[in-house]
Amino acid sequence: MGGIALGWRWLTAGESHGPGLVGIVEGVPARMALAREDIDRDLERRQKGYGRGKRMAIEQDRVEVYGGIRHGYTLGSPVAFLVRNRDFSHWTEAMSPDPAPTHRIVTRPRPGHADLVGGLKYGHRDLRNVLERASARETTMRVALGAVARTFLAALDIRVVGHVISLGDVRAPDRIYMEEEFTRAEDSPVRVIDPASEAAMMAAIDRARAAGDTLGGQVEVCAFGLPAGLGSYVQWDRRLEADLASAMLSIQAFKGVEVGAGFRQSAEPGSAVHDEIFWTEGRGFYRESNRAGGLEGGVTTGMPLVVRAAMKPLSTLMKPLRSVDVESKDAYLAQVERSDVTAVPPAVVVAEAMMMHVLAAATLEKFGGDSLEEIRERVEHWRETTRRF
């Protein structure tokens, strides 16, 4: 059989100050209930967070459906979305696709951003051609399409949640959090579960804002209800850790990823790292610990999937760093674009979306199917099979 293997595939397009962001996702099963409110809910979550800048006061992201959904149900055809940029009204000439006088040119690259390397790669002398697409505004559509994956996974009793585990030099207690505890993060301005850490993180953001600086941090995303057997050990590019790491590191400003106990395992003996295996009638195989983070040999174990990712401080500082003008070659302070003090709390929502895209693809690879009823039946049969193994 010729052609390429089909599955969960998606793309985004659009610029930060352009007319809007466009996205398309293919592989969404037919007959799945999906309302615009399901998408807008995650878009709203992405815009929240202590330390956000003025852009979030301008944009009120809402999705417009351009294909794949009719009368509240998916059709099995590609789902297409548009999220308009309200701020485009102030940028119509500067971002026009038609020939127009050039203004709002950027020639002073920001250290840590894609400005200079993007200009070098694509030959852009006006670095706005780079920063408009490299901007984290693009994650708006990742989240919108990820909300489709969330609905798909939820229909299979798979839940994906996340929270902040550190912000700046403030770190929440390092422990395993139960699924029901994650609701606390939804009510936190910095999306942290621990109340004491919340106050300390907000104080750190206030100090950074006063100093004209930015802060990074770490997020943790967990998937509950996963069946064993997603992913594979038989080839390098089928290991689920690899897919998850690639997805997380594709998020703007993300610089590190670990699964389960991650880097800490390298300093401990094997007896303190590996999860012992148990078995009981009716339950089947299970673990009493989850240091592996739900993955062994690139395959899900049936335990919660735990992924942590580190985000560097944002590269746009209100007190900019030194740089060089690409035209004059004179030394300057870097360009100042509107920015946040920190984007770690909303980055949780983006990381959730990226995990859900990976899990939706892995689920379709394992079980196949064209309608939600067909896939659900296969997943339920597989869960029963593994319990009886």
- Burial status of residue 288 (CB atoms within 10 A of its CB: 0-12, 13-18, 19 or more): exposed
d(CA 313, CA 214): 5
Residue 224 confidence (pLDDT): 98
Residue 6 confidence (pLDDT): 63
**pLDDT tens across 144-153, in order?**
999 999 999 9
State the distance between the two ends of the chain, measured CA to CA, in whole angstroms.
Answer: 33
Number of other CB atoms surrounding residue 257 within 10 Å = 19
Spell out the alpha helix ranges (H) of 135-214: 139-154, 182-186, 195-210
* Exposure b/e, 359-384, CB count within 10 A at least 16 = b: bbbbbbbbbebeebeebbebbeeebe
Helix, strand, or coil (residue 70): strand
- Segment (H or E) for 280: strand 277-280
Eight-state DSSP code of residue 30: B
Any idea how long the chain is?
A: 389
- The answer to whether residues 255 and 218 touch, using CB atoms and an 8 Å cutoff, is no
Taking 90 as the threshold, does the pLDDT of residue 337 lie above it? no
**pLDDT tens across 246-287, in order?**
999 999 999 999 999 999 999 999 999 999 999 999 899 999
**37 phi/psi in degrees, rounded to 5:** -60, -30
**pLDDT tens across 190-206, in order?**
999 999 999 999 999 99
- Burial status of residue 100 (CB atoms within 10 A of its CB: 0-12, 13-18, 19 or more): exposed
Residue 196 structure tokens: 């004491």
- When the pLDDT of each residue in the chain is averaged and rounded to a whole number, the result is 93
Taken in order of first residue, the domains within the chain and their CATH numbers are 9-387 (3.60.150.10)
**319 phi/psi in degrees, rounded to 5:** -110, 85
Residue 171 structure tokens: 């770190």
Helix, strand, or coil (residue 286): strand
d(CA 261, CA 272): 11
Residue 372 structure tokens: 């939600």
Residue 220's nearest CA partner among 305, 314, 312 is: 305
**pLDDT tens across 2-58, in order?**
444 469 999 999 999 999 999 999 999 999 999 999 999 999 999 999 887 665 556
**pLDDT tens across 105-156, in order?**
999 999 999 999 999 999 999 999 999 999 999 999 999 999 999 999 999 9
Handedness of CA 276, 246, 368, 69 (dihedral sign): positive
